[in-house]
Structures are given as C-alpha cells and as structure tokens.
Chains A and B, each alone.
Chain A
Amino acid sequence: MDRIPILKLRGLLLVTIQVDMHDRLAMQLQDELTARISETGARGVLIDISSLDIVDSFIGRMIANIAAMARVLDAQTVVVGMQPAVAITLVELGLTLPGVRTALNVDKGMALLEAPAHGIADQYAPDAHTSD
C-alpha cells in the first residue's frame, strides 16, 4: 500500500507528497502526521507539494486540517513548492487556504519555521492575542 514518508529534520517534520494522492491516502497522512507531531514534539511541519499537479477542494481541506491540528499540538505548518498553475487554479476554485502559511521552497519554509517564535506568532496567529 502507498504511504507518504514523514522525515524528521532538525526538529521539524518534512513531508514530501510525491504521488497522485487518492482520498484515503490523504486521510491516512493526516492521522500519521498528527501522531508524529505528538511523538516527536516537533514544533514545525513542512509539507512539500511541488510534485502535486493539482490541489482540489479535498486535498486543500486536508492541508488546512493538518495545519489546524498541528497548531493545536503547538506546531506550525508551512506548505512549500506550490506550482504556479496550481496556485492560479486554487484561487479561481475559491480555495484560499486561510491559516496556512506558504513558502516558495523547502529552504525558505525552514527559515520561516526556524525564525524566532514571536515574529511568527505575531504575524500569523491573531487569535493568540485575545485577552483573557
């Protein structure tokens, strides 16, 4: 059975999606990734989608779910390597991936995740500022 490998790299988890994901595989990745975050205490997740030639609403929802679950587990998610044609199509489809950070490539994504936590939190997690 297909499986998407999850690599641990300098305290981050790196997932490179290289197959044409069918829906069950996407759900399985969601489960495995959240389990790995909890096991390893990783503070960041990089999802490399440079090999994906489409992102439809199902895959988009899976990515948004992973980011939301990771956030609850105290990890930040960055999606890297989206192909330009995929980006154009996503916006036209109406999918804007709110709450999901993106970077052009793995290097830039890692730099974003390794930046001081304050900058990231201030910029991307407005709900962190709600007063008690």
Chain B
Amino acid sequence: MLTLRSASDVVVVRQTVRTWAIEAGFTLVDQTKMVTAASELARNTVDYGGGGTARLELLVDGARRGLRVAFEDHGPGIADVAKALSDHYTTGNGLGLGLGGAKRLVNEFDISSRVGEGTRVVITRWK
C-alpha cells in the first residue's frame, strides 16, 4: 500500500504501477494507459481528497492476468459522481479530464463516494 500526500507521492505511484504492469506482462501501450490512469487518480486523491492511499493488486483469472489499483481518501467526497465523470467537469485547475479520462483508459472502473466521508476509486486493466 502506498501513501499519497504530495506531488512526489504521485510520481512514486506512477513508478510502482509501471513496475507491476510490466510484471503482469502488459504491452507498452497497456502499461502507459494504466500508469496514466493511475496518475490522474493519484493526483485527485492528493489535490481533492486531502491525501489517502493507493493499493495495488496483481490479478490472475485462469490464463488472464491483470492489475488492480484502489485509491481511497477520507476527503470531502463527491456530491454528483455522474457529473464528476463527465468530460470537462472540473472543480480545480485541471482540464476536467481526470476521472472520465481515467475511466476510458482501463477495463473496469468503480467509484463510490459519500459527501463528508471520502471517495474510493478502483481501476482494473487486464492483459
């Protein structure tokens, strides 16, 4: 499990996800998509969630291998998840592509959020 408190922790998450994606046998393009999605979500955790954690898991399903990363924070939560997922929605100074963009880069995307309690986003990409 990795702690996410600052911009340099986001870099550590990127590097760790890269290492694990290589281990899962991902192609270079698939590695890049997973690392980019993780980078978006790690930054959200730091910037909007007030910090949190990233938990990585290698998955084996028969012959299939995959990588799952769960991001969790205890920040303010997201009031309207559907709206937050739409492109160009932004509360900060990004391009508003973070959540929706990350979703497009992975095979499975789960988000749960409660106002005042925090947010959990789980992404999975299969080889």
Instruction: Spell out A's residues near B (CB within 8 Å).
Output: 20-24, 53-58, 60-61, 83-86, 88-89, 92-95
Pair B14/A92 contact, Cβ less than 8 Å: no
Contact of B35 among A21, A53, A58 (CB under 8 A): A53
Task: Kindly state whether residue B39 has any CB partner on chain A within 8 Å.
Answer: yes
Pair B28/A85 contact, Cβ less than 8 Å: yes
Q: B interface, by DSSP: helix, strand, loop or mixed?
A: helix
CB-contacts of B6-50 with A (<8 A): 7-8, 10-11, 14-15, 18, 28-29, 31-33, 35-36, 39-40, 43
Task: Kindly state whether residue B94 has any CB partner on chain A within 8 Å.
Answer: yes
CB neighbours of A92 from chain B (8 A): 33, 101, 104-105
Q: A interface, by DSSP: helix, strand, loop or mixed?
A: helix
Q: Find the A residue at minimum CB distance from B30.
A: A85
Task: Kindly state whether residue B87 has any CB partner on chain A within 8 Å.
Answer: yes
CB neighbours of B95 from chain A (8 A): 57, 60-61, 95
Task: Kindly state whether residue B66 has any CB partner on chain A within 8 Å.
Answer: no
The 7 closest A-B pairs by CB, nearest first: A23-B7, A93-B101, A85-B32, A22-B7, A56-B39, A57-B97, A85-B29
CB neighbours of B28 from chain A (8 A): 85
Instruction: Spell out B's residues near A (CB within 8 Å).
Output: 7-8, 10-11, 14-15, 18, 28-29, 31-33, 35-36, 39-40, 43, 87, 93-95, 97-98, 100-102, 104-105
Q: Find the A residue at minimum CB distance from B8.
A: A22
* Complex CA distance for A20 and B33, rounded to whole angstroms: 16
Pair B29/A88 contact, Cβ less than 8 Å: yes
* Complex CA distance for A85 and B30, rounded to whole angstroms: 8
Residue among A24, A57, A88, A92 with max Cβ neighbours from chain B (10 Å): A57
CB neighbours of A56 from chain B (8 A): 36, 39-40, 43
CB neighbours of B7 from chain A (8 A): 22-24
Pair B97/A93 contact, Cβ less than 8 Å: yes
Pair A95/B14 contact, Cβ less than 8 Å: no
* Complex CA distance for A88 and B30, rounded to whole angstroms: 10
Pair B29/A94 contact, Cβ less than 8 Å: no
CB neighbours of A94 from chain B (8 A): 87, 97, 100-101, 104
CB neighbours of B15 from chain A (8 A): 20
Given A22-B8, A23-B7, A93-B104 in contact, is the A54-B98 Cβ separation under 8 Å? Answer: no
Q: How far is the CB of B45 from chain A (nearest CB, A)?
A: 13
Q: How far is the CB of A64 from chain B (nearest CB, A)?
A: 8
